[in-house]
């Protein structure tokens, strides 16, 4: 099986790139879009404002289409952490409130909630078993004082894919917000934000979205958009910025969470990356990614390695953690052989994407020998 649109990814020929879970490689389209944005700025300055505005609109629409949401509820951020900070700083917390979170979450989706504890907010860490916090255990931790359930769509250390629809339904019934770190899923897996009941989806573009560093987004449910208070208000947070009013009339849509001048080059690259993913088709991307991880698991088994994941296919993602061998010794050999991967979760974490083909996987297991 060959990779999809591999001709757009010179980085996939420069190395066997199986590290999209750390930092994805960008396509020539993304690089060209960012360079074009900078060139427009260089040559046109303020005269480029109309093109920038149109690109913002197009990017919101593309992101909303990719995640199954609404363009009016998309706000651009620097990264996942700044997106989650909008929730941490946007809720009127009271002593005795609590946040439910799996104990092994990536720091971006753990540290912000820990930081609330001096304000009297309880952090309920749900123990993880075999790289996952069981859905039932998460639900059991929710009570009348739970304000937020915070999970990753996919666990970075194991690749476990959480049942977001079940969590979303429970959070709606119990009147708490489901806050999801989507960075290890968006761009590789089909995400239905509104259909799953996700209140806040925060993601960075530089992993599976194959976009630039330093740009991300949040997508909000109607109730999250209504209830979260903007923690930073700037001249672009208002309904009509160019009126230059003395009192902030906050924007009715998610722009209220954007305070100032946007990352123009980053948004241009994000738009190019998302547009390409939509051209290929999110379902086709997911099928290719899951097929490659399954193929890699079989090849690894032939070499005596084990793919450590839940036997249920619905919990699989683009992340495959291989154990059973000496990962600490094998990882440098893989890097020396030109195979990009990471050490995570007690094993070697592989993360193929839609540009990955069977020859890449065969070269990987050959380097393990």
Instruction: List pLDDT tens digits, range 141-180.
Output: 999 999 999 999 999 999 999 999 999 999 999 999 999 9
Contact call for residues 90 and 118 (beta carbons, < 8 A): no
Cα–Cα distance for residue pair 327/315, rounded to 1 Å? 24
Please, are residues 89 and 231 in contact by the beta-carbon 8 Å criterion? yes
Helix 28-44 and helix 49-67: axis angle, to 10°? 150
Q: What count of Cα atoms within 13 Å lies in the side-chain half-sphere of residue 139? A: 16
Q: What is the pLDDT of residues 32-54, one digit of tens each?
A: 999 999 999 999 999 999 999 99
Please report which helix (H) or strand (E) contains residue 110, including its range.
none
Instruction: Supply the pLDDT for residue 369.
Output: 78
Round to whole Å and give the CA distance between 310 and 296. Answer: 16
Query: So what's the pLDDT on residue 1?
Result: 86
pLDDT at 221 (0 to 100): 98
Q: What is the largest CA-CA distance in the chain?
A: 69
d(CA 317, CA 265): 30
Contact of 63 with 274, CB cutoff 8 Å: yes
User: In the chain, what percentage of residues exceed pLDDT 70?
Assistant: 100
Give the model's pLDDT for residue 325. 87
Q: Is the pLDDT of residue 349 over 90?
A: yes
* Pairwise CA distance, residues 257 & 225, whole Å: 9
- What residue ranges define each of the domains in the chain, with the CATH number in brackets? 6-27+282-368 (3.90.1150.10), 32-279 (3.40.640.10)
Render pLDDT for 304-320 as a digit per residue (tens, 0 to 9): 999 999 999 999 999 99
Return the beta strands (E) in the chain as ranges.
16-17, 74-77, 98-102, 122-126, 146-152, 177-181, 200-204, 216-220, 306-307, 320-323, 339-340, 342-344, 347-350
Q: What is the mean pLDDT of residues 102-121?
A: 97
DSSP states of 38-97 as a string? HHHHHHHGGGGHHHHHHHHHHHHHHHHHHHTS-GGGEEEESSHHHHHHHHHTTS---TT-
> Strand, helix or coil at 189?
strand
- DSSP string for residues in 113-159: HHTTGGGT-EEEEEPPBTTB--HHHHHHT--TTEEEEEEESB-TTT-
Q: At what angle do helices 282-302 and 358-368 cross, to 10 degrees?
A: 30
Return all residues near 307 (Cβ < 8 A) that are at least 6 apart: 293, 296, 297, 300, 301, 320, 321, 322
Tokens encoding 127: 């123990």
Question: Could you read off the pLDDT of 293-302 as tens digits, one per residue?
Answer: 999 999 999 9
Q: Once rounded to an integer, what is the mean pLDDT over residues 129-148? A: 97
CA dist 365 and 296 (Å) reads 8
Q: Spell out a b/e string for 198-222, using b for 16 or more CB atoms within 10 Å of the CB, else e.
A: bbbbbbbbbbbbbbbeebbbbbbbe
List all residues 6 or more positions away from 368 whose beta carbon is below 8 Å from its beta carbon.
Answer: 300, 303, 305, 325, 330, 333, 334
Angle among Cα 82, 85, 88 to the nearest 5 degrees reads: 175
- For residues 228 and 73, the answer to whether their CB atoms sit within 8 Å is no
Give the pLDDT band (50/70/90) at residue 181.
Answer: very high
Strand 146-152 to 98-102 pairing? parallel
């Amino acid at each position: 099986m060959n990779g999809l649109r591999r001709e757009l990814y010179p980085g996939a020929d420069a190395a066997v790139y199986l590290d999209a879970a750390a930092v994805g490689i960008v396509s020539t389209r993304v690089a060209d879009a960012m360079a074009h944005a900078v060139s427009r700025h260089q040559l046109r300055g303020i005269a480029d404002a109309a093109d920038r505005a149109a690109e913002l609109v197009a990017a919101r629409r593309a992101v909303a289409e990719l995640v199954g949401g609404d363009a009016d509820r998309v706000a651009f951020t620097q990264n996942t952490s700044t997106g989650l900070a909008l929730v941490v700083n946007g809720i009127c917390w009271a002593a005795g409130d609590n946040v439910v979170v799996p104990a092994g979450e990536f720091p971006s989706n753990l540290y912000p909630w820990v930081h609330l504890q001096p304000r009297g907010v309880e952090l309920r860490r749900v123990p993880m078993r075999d790289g996952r916090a069981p859905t039932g255990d998460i639900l059991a931790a929710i009570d009348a004082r739970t304000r937020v359930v915070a999970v990753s769509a996919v666990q970075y250390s194991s690749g476990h894919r959480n049942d977001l629809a079940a969590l979303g339904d429970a959070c709606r019934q119990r009147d708490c917000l489901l806050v999801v770190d989507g960075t290890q899923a968006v761009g590789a897996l089909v995400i239905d934000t509104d259909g799953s009941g996700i209140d806040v989806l925060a993601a960075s573009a530089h992993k599976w979205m194959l976009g630039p560093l330093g740009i991300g987004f949040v997508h909000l449910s109607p109730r999250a958009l209504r209830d979260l208070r903007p923690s930073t208000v700037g001249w672009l947070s208002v309904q009509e910025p160019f009126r230059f009013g003395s009192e902030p009339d906050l924007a009715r849509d998610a722009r209220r969470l954007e305070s100032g001048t946007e990352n123009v080059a980053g948004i241009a690259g994000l738009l190019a990356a998302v547009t390409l993913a939509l051209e290929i088709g999110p379902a086709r991307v997911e099928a290719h990614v899951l097929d490659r991880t399954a193929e890699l698991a079989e090849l690894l088994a032939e070499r005596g390695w084990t793919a450590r994941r839940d036997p249920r296919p619905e919990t699989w993602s683009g992340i495959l953690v291989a154990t059973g061998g000496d990962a600490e010794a094998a990882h440098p050999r893989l890097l020396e052989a030109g195979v990009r991967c990471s050490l995570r979760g007690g094993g070697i974490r592989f993360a193929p994407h839609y540009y990955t083909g069977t020859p890449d996987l065969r070269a990987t297991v050959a380097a393990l020998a």
